[in-house]
Amino acid sequence: MFGNIFSSMMSDSVKQEVPEQWIKCPKCSALMYYKEVEAKQNVCPKCNHHFRISAEKRIDSIVDEGSFVEHDQSLAPVDPLKFSDKKPYKKRLEEAKAKTGKTSSVMSGSCTIGANPIEIVVFDFSFMGGSLGSVEGEKIVRAIGRAIEKECGFIIVSASGGARMQESTYSLLQMSKTSAALNRLHQKGLPFISILTDPTMGGVSASFAMLGDIIMAEPGALIGFAGQRVIKQTVGVDLPEGFQRSEFLLEHGLIDMIVDRADMHDTLSGLFKLFKKEKTMMPEKEVIEEDITQEEGTEEEMLEVVSEDTPKEDSEV
């Protein structure tokens, strides 16, 4: 019976009339009614395969209900290079906007998770493969700025093919721009959790995605820099089983944990509570170092400062 339904789904005319009523799991090939999958946050109930989801669905699954307030949604890319490959970049942007209703591959905003205030940036793979361009970089940096201002935690959920080639160097610059902003966050002692979802590749994995104080991934996500075919051609050997998947990366120490989508909210909530506790028990050392740079004292004066008990109220951390 299912065979018939599936073959009829394959014909375009039927597909348009009945859009995605039945979903075939790419991992276990089970055919399921879409509501069954949706009810499980777009995770296959048979084999736990995590389907790709939109930024909106991702936000719904992570943040406290009704707490998300979007920022910078009016930022839209320009085409400074007047770039054209098979199509002009401008046309690609128009098509992506028509398809997704967005002008960027990220959504950014303020929210709470387990009542902890958080700034969050979420990639949407359906907008130009979640590619990182000037607008995405700017949105990330602005979100980090808000986290610093509010002294709260920061999250990026990545789903990206990498840098946006149509913006060339402008796109590559976003790697250093976002990394530098994350360093400012780090200097303030504020936590950054990076969540890697399927896929996290190229310039995204080579910059902020791998700079998390905690790096977590969804099960089975493809995570890497270059694609497997390119690596295989370059090194000339067969790649090991499961190469560039979350489980392989966890085993080899590149990420800290794999978290099921259903557990993501509670895991994040628990971690931010822990960070909050850590913050109140923050060792004096970091606080003192900051005071020293501000005071620009002599070495002797600095030593005096170190030996003193710096009151907590003075802390900017």
Residues that bind Zn ion (CB under 5 A): 25, 27-28, 30, 44, 46-47, 49
315 neighbors 294 (Cβ within 8 angstroms): no
Least separation, in Å, of the C-beta of 43 and Zn ion? Answer: 9
Residue where the block lists tokens 């909210």: 265
206-239 burial: b if 16+ Cβ within 10 Å, else e: bbbbbbbbbbbbbbbbbbbbbbeeebeeeeeeee
Least separation, in Å, of the C-beta of 218 and Zn ion? Answer: 14
- 14 versus 30: smaller Cβ distance to Zn ion: 30
Least separation, in Å, of the C-beta of 224 and Zn ion? Answer: 23
49 neighbors 246 (Cβ within 8 angstroms): no
- 44 versus 175: smaller Cβ distance to Zn ion: 44
- 44 versus 140: smaller Cβ distance to Zn ion: 44
CA distances from 68 to 63, 96, 153, 282 (A): 7, 24, 15, 29
Least separation, in Å, of the C-beta of 33 and Zn ion? Answer: 14
CA-wise closest residue to 153 among 125, 186, 191, 181: 191
> CA gyration radius for the chain?
22
Please tell me the distance from the alpha carbon of residue 18 to that of residue 249, in angstroms, as a whole number: 39
- 46 versus 188: smaller Cβ distance to Zn ion: 46
- 32 versus 271: smaller Cβ distance to Zn ion: 32
Least separation, in Å, of the C-beta of 219 and Zn ion? Answer: 11
